[in-house]
Structure 1
Amino acid sequence: MQANIMLLAAAAIWGFGFVAQRLGMNFLEPFAFNGVRFLLGSCSLLPLIWWFSRRRTSQLYGESSLPLAGVLAGAVLFIAASLQQVGLLYTTAAKAGFITGLYLILVPIFGLLLKHTTGITTWLGAILAVIGLYLLSINDDFSMSFGDMLQFIGALFWAIHILLIDHFSGRVSPLKLSAVQFMVCGLLSLGVSLLIETPTLPAILAGWQPILYAGLVSVGVAYTLQVVGQKSANPAHAAIILSLESVFAVLGGVWLLDETLTLRAWFGCGLMLAGMLLSQVRWPDRNKQEPELLPS
């Protein structure tokens, strides 16, 4: 129960993080905001890395693959986070949360390319999620808004990112990998920002609240809760609990940003959530055949 509460708290923090990301762009442009928050997030993991190193858990991993893993994961993370952040300029936090959550279904589907086993529940969940996405985002003229499209493309890269993390998870320390990839993502974001945006120190200071939440709380605090919680939680239960991030994104958008959804959109959200949850269900005799892939 304690582990599940920790994971639920992490999902809530990540869900409300969409609100912080939207509010942050009242002060900073998308790439500048991402650059600052991911660099802050990387630094926030240093105390946790030090604490685990004191317990000698990091000795279970080699470090030779860390630079390559960090650069690759950071580059994919940069693409996914950039699409998400720019997309939030054109869509709501509520929609962004649910569309991004599609990575839960895309991960096992993409895993087929790596010869992973995908169960029937994943395909049923994918069907429900696609119907839900249609109701949530597709207009009467069968078009999708620019912001929703960016979020959907971003979900593809979030799924690739998780598969990449899974590939390196047994070779390097997860905490060190996260710190490096956040650093790479932050530096790439700041580099692009300096080329096409006009970030200023006064703007960064003015937006300290959403930056602090998105960087320190969403990364440092939530990641710690996830790492500690998953040690004792059932993997399937953990995946289901973490998928509730999209629900908290809707709650945050409606409560804090006064966002509204039509009845059709609410129904679409419900179908997408049902599909996400169903995709994480595993029949008892297949639990050992299908490893769970959780976000890092």
Structure 2
Amino acid sequence: MKFKANLLLLLTAAIWGFAFVALRVGVEYIGPFTFTAIRFALGSLFLLPFIFYNNKFRNKNEAGNEARKSWQVGLLAGLILFIAVSFQQVGLKYTTAGKAAFITCLYIVLVPIMGVFLKKYITISTWFGSIFAVIGLYLLCVKEGFIISYGDFLQLIGTFFWTAHILLIDHFARRIEAFKLAFFQFMTCALLSLGSALVQETVTIRALLQAGIPILYGGIFSVGIGHTLQIIGQKYTFPSHTATILSMQTVFAAFGGYLLLGELLGLQEILGCIFMIVGMFLPQIPALAQKRYAKS
């Protein structure tokens, strides 16, 4: 089951990676908070049929108790998600996209470090995997000298909230039904983003229509499917593994830019992708070796 969970998380990373392309196209027509509000609201609506279907197989008391716990955790998860996204979007105004991606994905290291404080066992292979992934991230994302700017500082603050989000989902994923948790999380983030959009941005019907395809992809695939698969996948794997696998979104974003936007990949970027792939597989080696030993 752990292998399937890792595949779900890798699929999530692929969906999120290609979502970078959708985001870059979408924000050319509408503001980032408007884009976030609409796509998270759309992701919430996408989940409603699944929630109603699952409720058919639960008694009313069980469904009611689960709904109460789901909205409480979903409210907190949505708040953390909104703060993380906000720091990321504001920070992008003052730094490069590559440095922003690198700093954001430093949760690869922060998650196992926080895991130590939470008394979770972190394997040596996981630490090595994290180191390889960080090196790969740097090669893939940072094209110029690394000087800490105001935007980088904002991205770093956001990284702590991405870390908190992964750990929160890890704590509750096995206790709460995934679709309900995802729904309340999405709605919270959508409403908070809508409030920010109304204060800071303006939007027209024409702009919404021009951003229609990125909004649909971002809402249905990136939010509705991607974030829900994250919750399901985290039920059966370690948070440190989750962080490493989800960081692969930068690799898929690079390939998405190459395939859809014509962006070229140089030797440095290709080496970065290789390091990240190695970093993703290193934590799996002990489990694979144990299976092979058991068969022999």
Amino acid at match of 2:270: W
Tell me, what secondary structure is at the counterpart of 1:45? helix
Amino acid at match of 2:268: R
Q: Does 1:35 align with 2:37?
A: yes
Determine the C-alpha separation between the residues in 1 that align with 2:222 and 2:44: 11
TM-aligned CA deviation for residue 34 of structure 1: 0.6
TM-aligned CA deviation for residue 226 of structure 1: 6.3
Unaligned runs of 5+ in 2: 292-296
Contact 1:137 1:148 in 2 (8 A): no
Q: What is the match of residue 107 of structure 1? A: 111
Structure 1 142/113 Cα, relative in aligned 2: closer, same or farther at 3 Å?
A: same
| Equivalences for residues 1-296 of structure 1 within 5 A | 9-56=11-58, 59=62, 62-86=66-90, 91-92=96-97, 100-137=104-141, 141-143=145-147, 153-222=157-226, 235=237, 244-279=248-283, 281-283=285-287
Tell me, what secondary structure is at the counterpart of 1:79? helix
Q: What is the match of residue 294 of structure 2? A: none
Determine the C-alpha separation between the residues in 2 that align with 1:140 and 1:49: 47
TM-aligned CA deviation for residue 106 of structure 1: 3.1
TM-aligned CA deviation for residue 147 of structure 1: 6.4
- Number of residue pairs the alignment of both structures matches: 283
Report Cα offsets for 1:64-89 as digits up to 9, x if no partner. Answer: 43333122111110022223444566
Determine the C-alpha separation between the residues in 2 that align with 1:167 and 1:270: 31
Contact 2:33 2:193 in 1 (8 A): yes
Contact 1:96 1:148 in 2 (8 A): yes
TM-aligned CA deviation for residue 247 of structure 1: 2.5
Determine the C-alpha separation between the residues in 2 that align with 1:170 and 1:137: 34
Structure 1 285/121 Cα, relative in aligned 2: closer, same or farther at 3 Å?
A: same
Determine the C-alpha separation between the residues in 1 that align with 2:131 and 2:21: 28
Determine the C-alpha separation between the residues in 2 that align with 1:152 and 1:189: 20
TM-score (norm 1): 0.77
Determine the C-alpha separation between the residues in 2 that align with 1:193 and 1:184: 14
Structure 1 95/41 Cα, relative in aligned 2: closer, same or farther at 3 Å?
A: farther
Quick one: percent identity of the two aligned structures? 48
Amino acid at match of 1:278: L
Unaligned runs of 5+ in 1: 288-296
Tell me, what secondary structure is at the counterpart of 2:66? coil
TM-aligned CA deviation for residue 45 of structure 1: 0.9
RMSD: 3.8
TM-aligned CA deviation for residue 181 of structure 1: 1.0
